[in-house]
Structure 1
Amino acid sequence: MSFQPIIPTGGLVGWAFLNRTLERQTAAFDASADVTRDVDYFAEKIGGIETAEQLVSDRRLLSVALGAFGLSDDIDNKYFVRKVLEDGSLASDALANRLADDRYLSMTKAFGFGDYDVPRTKLSTFSDEIVSLYRERSFEVAVGEQNESLRFALNAQRELAEIAEDGSSDDTKWYRIMGNEPLREVFETALGLPDSFAALDLDLQLSGFREKSRAQLGGGEISQFSDPEQIDKLVQRYLVRAQLAEIQTTSAGSIALTLLQS
């Protein structure tokens, strides 16, 4: 990217600075040459795309499409992405409905290749919809190149409110979080859960998340994150614990290096 966000430090201090300068920094990022070039190409070409095969065959279009949903790492998994999109979202056995990570389902619904005779790429508002998501996600990626914890914090701030307002059951909302790697990282770190926690049975993980959330955040239901203050509480706990873990890792590394040198 031709513009890199300014992140002077991590932790709560870095988070406060980022939020204070967010509007100015995102405007500069959106105006950068790389982002402008990507979104202009997408806006020009996407209206002519009628199938998932056409989308995955154009790497530049696919890059924006995947980036809009935080799935850029799948850029080389063309067959998998095509299969997810072609299956659609309406059938219960569609691939997107069987994946733990619901970002694929969101992408599938957005494009509509497997759900409608005419995909949503033909809508006049479609390009703006995807470009807006792409800009937001791309800025988070750029922040992550400076400080990964702050990227996860931005992601949680954006996604948790959406999940909390969803009409599905609370169990389903928890499972969505458990299947979403960035959100899961925030919760596990903020609640002080060990690495071994992910190896437990899913039902035990669900009850564990609920109990820890109730004890440390005051509530065990995802609906609590309809309140921005609850999201702030979670994010702050996450950033403090993440920074402490980083300090401990750095200190341990320094001690090990000293011992080796001696």
Structure 2
Amino acid sequence: MMFQPVLPLGGFAGWSFLTRTMDSQKGAYAKSPEVAREVKYFEENIGKVKTAEDLVSDRTLLKVALGAFGLSDDIDNKYFIRKVLEDGTLTDDALANKLSDKRYLKLSQAFGFGDYPVPSTGLSDFGSKITTAFKERQFEAAVGNQNENFRLAMGIDRDLAEIANKDLKEDTLWFTVMGNPPLRKVFETAFNLPTSFGSLDLDKQLATFKDKAQAAFGDSGIKQFATPEKQEDLTRLFLLRADVQALNVDTGGSQIALTLLQNMSNGRSGLF
């Protein structure tokens, strides 16, 4: 039986428990038979893969490859994934460069089928790098099966920190976040934006994100999230907003929602 993460509580209290027990739970999950079997298979066989066709033709290899980049839902979109991989990333018209979801770009860059004469699959440490990411993402998916908000929160310190540390202009960093569906969901929820927000002009979306960030955190940029303190502030705000939205409070319950947010802010006056 697959190991199931232990999540006795929801909300920020449940998140605090998960973070305290994260290392031990991840270790136990990685040792579960199915995950261990898939990791072993990938590391033993990925070196034999020379083309994108080789990869998509082996379902287990493809499962691990996609899972490492949070793209598990594309397991049956073989033609699409093959095209992403074969096009590479070095030309403007490559499919990965045209897609707003930049996880495909990272996938194509990592494997290198369309970028180099010899793909990365031939590197001695390539298999272990991919399986390490796979185990991380699979644990997140297992958490998400019980609490989707926790899964999204787990990506903040990894994905957002990576973006925040890039030497790019703030607007470019925001567009990168906007092109990452999980992170975008975190910010949309934290800022209490409507579901129709994504249909606005991109420049209007950017301006709104920056205004909301300034109001919530005292800084309109993404680079502030390079620090663990600001990551925690965002995580707290995201989880509290998600809880309030889940309550679907009406006008009569608005004071309850306000009290919940105030009590859980722990004195962080800049958050709300």
| Match in the other structure for 1:155 | 155
**Structure 2 equivalent of residue 28 of structure 1:** 28
Give per-residue Cα distances to partners, 1:136-178, cap 9 Å, x unaligned: 0000000000100000000122111000011232222111211
Quote the residue 1:73 is aligned against.
73
SS in 1 for 2:238: helix
**Which residue matches 2:100?**
100
- Letter paired with 1:226: A
Question: Superposed, which structure 2 residues align to 1:11-90 within 5 Å?
Answer: 11-90=11-90
- Counterpart CA distance in 2 for 1:130 and 1:89 is 19
Give the Cα separation in 2 of the matches to 1:63 and 1:23. Answer: 24
Give CA deviations for 1:90-112 in whole Å, capped at 9, x if unaligned. Answer: 11211111110110000101000
Identity %: 55
Quote the residue 1:242 is aligned against. Answer: 242
Moved more, 66-75 or 168-177: 168-177
1:215-259 Cα offsets, whole Å, 9 max, x none, are 111111111111111111011000001011112279x9xxxxxxx
Q: What letter matches 1:153 in structure 2?
A: A
Q: Tell me whether 1:164 sits opposite 2:164 in the alignment.
A: yes
Give the Cα–Cα distance (whole angstroms) in 1 for the partners of residues 242 and 157 of structure 2. 16
Matches within 5 A, 1:221-232: 221-232=221-232
Match status 1:143 vs 2:135? no
1:187 aligned partner, one-letter code:
F
| Aligned match of 1:259 | none
Q: Classify the secondary structure of the residue corresponding to 2:66.
A: helix
**Counterpart of 1:5?**
5
Does 1 or 2 have the higher relative contact order (CA < 8 Å, sep 6+)? 1
Q: Secondary structure at the match of 1:220?
A: coil
**1:148 corresponds to which letter in structure 2?**
E
Letter in 2 for 1:233: D
Q: Call closer, same or farther: CA 1:178–1:113 in 2, change over 3 Å.
A: same
| Structure 1 vs Structure 2 CA RMSD | 1.4
CA-to-aligned-CA distance 1:170-200 (integer Å, 9 cap, x gap): 2221112112111111000101111121111
Deviation string, structure 1 residues 90-135 (Cα, Å, up to 9, x no partner): 1121111111011000010100000000000000010011011001
Cα deviations across residues 47-82 of structure 1 (Å, max 9, x unaligned)? 000000010000110000000000000001000000
Q: What is the count of residue pairs matched by the alignment?
A: 251
**Structure 2: unaligned runs, 5 residues or longer:** 253-272
Q: Please state how far the C-alpha of 1:10 moved relative to its aligned partner.
A: 1.3
- 3-state SS in 2 of match to 1:21: helix
CA distance in 1, matches of 2:197, 2:173: 19
Structure-1 separation of matches of 2:142 and 2:158: 16
| Distance in 1 between residues matched to 2:173 and 2:96, nearest whole Å | 16
TM-score by length of 2: 0.90
Partner of 1:257: none
Gaps of 5+ in 1: 253-262
Q: Which moved more, 1:165-174 or 1:196-205?
A: 165-174
